[in-house]
Chains A and B, each alone.
Chain A
Amino acid sequence: MSYNNEMIEKYRGNFLKEVTDNVEEGDWVKMCMQCGVCSGSCPLGPHWEHPPQEIFMMIRANKREEVLESTSMWMCTSCYNCIARCPRGLPITHIMHGLATYSRRLGLAPQQQPTAKFAQLFWNNLAKTGRVNELKLGLSLYFMNGFAEGVKTALKMKNIGLNMLKTKRMTPMEMLGGHGCKDAKGLQAILKKAEELENVRIGKSGA
């Protein structure tokens, strides 16, 4: 049984409990009094499918798939305006990131959401050597949406790239592996162990 199905089985019909148990800071969701100040304060508010206070209401209303498959929580830019203004002290930013993490863990996160995609690219890039390879990260972003669009973006950014080379803000040598931390193997071992521990904590088997 998939992890998602396991969770559906476990919390059948009680999504609020599922969120409380599994989402970072999720136990705060029940404290929301639906005043709407977070949604009104969000600078990206108009672009969210469901603003935070609507998400909280949907969680209580058992809209499990609609919440977890939503692109909304991936829109959060961590500006903390909502946390500063929330009259009941909900750590809204953290809950949004918690929901995003949980939906990804269940395999329900939207595949084409740019923030989600970028986060994965950034992580893959970083975890390899322990340092961010900006050249590779930049290029992988260009080609995030396919080869043709990648070439188009690269051409558009050509002058900036050349200027960066000229002023030594970027080196083409990074393409060949690039710089890294002292013990990249050790780092990878640490990350692997951390993932194992995390899987034990959340009760996810064989992942």
Chain B
Amino acid sequence: MSEVIATNQTILVVGGGISGMTAALEAAECGKQVILVEKNPSIGGRVSQLYKYFPKLCHPKCGLEINLRRIKTNRNLHVMAMTEVNKIEGEAGNYSVTLHTRPRYVNENCTACGACGEAVETEFDDEYNYGLGKRKGAYRPFNQSYPERYVLDPAIIGTADADKAKAACNYEAIDLDMGDSETTITVGAIIWATGWKPYDAGKIQPYGYDRYKNVITSVEFERMLDPHGPTGGKILRPSDGKEAKDVAFIQCAGSRDLNHLKHCSRICCMASLKQTTYLREQYGDDTKGTVYYIDIRAIDRIDDFYQNVKNDANITFTKSKVASITEDRETGNPVLHGVDTEGYDRYSNPHELVVLAIGMEPSVPADGFPMPVVLNEEGFVELDEANGAFFAAGCSADALDVNRAVQSATASALRAIQVVNRVAGAEG
């Protein structure tokens, strides 16, 4: 890692997802010095794990490509991967931030040729695919990952696999002696964009996510559609690998529920509507999709999308919060039980696959925030004067879709720029 030079006119962006990338780029392209830190080996975040965006149904790969180009060509922007913020001290315009960087065991010489990945044998659950597939102990997180370098899993260090990886590398890129490092930098403003995580579906006990293989979450479903993903782009049942043509979508899985997340996660209605189009794309008239919902919250221009899905004869909507799921042992089909509140009809419907439209939980560091921060009752960061020049962007601020997360990121970039401009003005 090259030496980081930062002053109180530098902006620190924490989190390299769509919001963090946007905020960092907006500020850097205004001529400000920006440091972007990311906990994972690659920036890109959860948006890079999506198959398509709503409502235009274009591929996030494309937007990521554009953002990566902007990042690579911008001299004001410095990306630090595998780095977390340990401590923040000071005040608006003058923060002292301690960063902790985990070892990657791969240096700048790496060309991402993949020889080390082929050499090692141990496999691990692939985080990028939410554990649906496996990855090697030396790996590239995904094929657009940035920095464009491999990374060694710390679990293989000290084993024969690590030596195999080192031996396979022709560029002297593997450095097994790399250790943890701490850096303290000075910055003027902080943009917090650590995003969200899917709510732990196992906690929704009646839905049996932890018991039934054919009950999956919406984020896992997205991974299935990726042509390079764990199922090669096919919608398959985890239990037996059969094609899943009859799919149920359960809305508000964890959201709008005092037992789980109190807030509406905003993205899930549109995500499920979008995912019904995947069914049609893959199986045509041969498919059957059922959306179980309390109410569909597709507003503004995305209402057109909802109307189009509603007009699809193969997609039905059942106004009901599903009470519980059981499993038909013979077929492996999850059976959904509940009452259709339009007509009060009781149902027990088997489906081949159930997708839980999982709620959005703010992603908060395990040990809490590195400085006192005002949060709202749902755990999102408030826009509060007491937070000084600590501004939340994207899903750290609220449950937002990509569109609104980017708007939020741009807004926080502007707030941060105002702070560092004030500092610059005071110092002449």
Contacts and interface: CB of A to CB of B under 8 A. Distances in A.
Contact of A36 (B206, B258, B324, B338): B338
Nearest to B204: A85
Given A85-B323, A87-B321, A37 B338 contact: yes
Contact of A87 (B259, B339, B344): B259
A87 B254 CA distance: 9
A45 interface: yes
Given A35-B321, A36-B321, A87 B258 contact: yes
Contacts of A35: 252, 294, 320-321, 341
B324 A51 contact: no
B334 to A, nearest CB: 15
B318 to A, nearest CB: 10
A40 interface: yes
Nearest to A46: B346
A34 interface: yes
- Give the interface centre of A36, A39, A45, A88 by most chain B CB atoms within 10 Å: A36
Given A45-B339, A53-B339, A89-B258, A40 B322 contact: yes
A40 B339 contact: yes
A41 interface: yes
Given A41-B324, A88-B258, A34 B339 contact: no
Nearest to A87: B257
A40 B320 contact: yes
Given A87-B252, A89-B258, A51 B323 contact: no
A4 B363 CA distance: 55
Contacts of A69: none
B102 interface: no
Interface string B294-326: 100000000000000000000000011111100
B340 interface: yes
Interface string A18-56: 000000000000000111110111000110001101100
B337 interface: yes
Contacts of B323: 36-37, 39-41, 85
Interface in B251-285: 252, 256-260
A188 to B, nearest CB: 43
A46 B348 CA distance: 12
Interface in A65-90: 84-89
A61 to B, nearest CB: 13
A142 B321 CA distance: 41
B257 A36 contact: no
B303 to A, nearest CB: 21
A40 B252 contact: no
Given A40-B322, A40-B323, A40-B324, A33 B294 contact: yes
Contacts of A89: 258
Contacts of B344: 39, 50-51, 54
A36 B320 contact: yes
B178 to A, nearest CB: 48
Contacts of B206: 41, 85
A54 B342 CA distance: 10
21 contacts: A34-B294, A35-B252, A35-B341, A36-B319, A36-B320, A36-B338, A37-B338, A39-B338, A39-B341, A39-B344, A40-B324, A40-B338, A41-B206, A41-B324, A46-B346, A53-B341, A85-B259, A85-B323, A87-B257, A87-B258, A89-B258
Given A35-B252, A40-B322, A40-B337, 9 more contacts: A35-B294, A35-B320, A35-B341, A36-B340, A40-B323, A53-B339, A54-B344, A84-B259, A87-B321
Among all A-B residue pairs, the 5 with the closest Cβ atoms: A40-B323, A40-B338, A35-B321, A87-B257, A39-B339
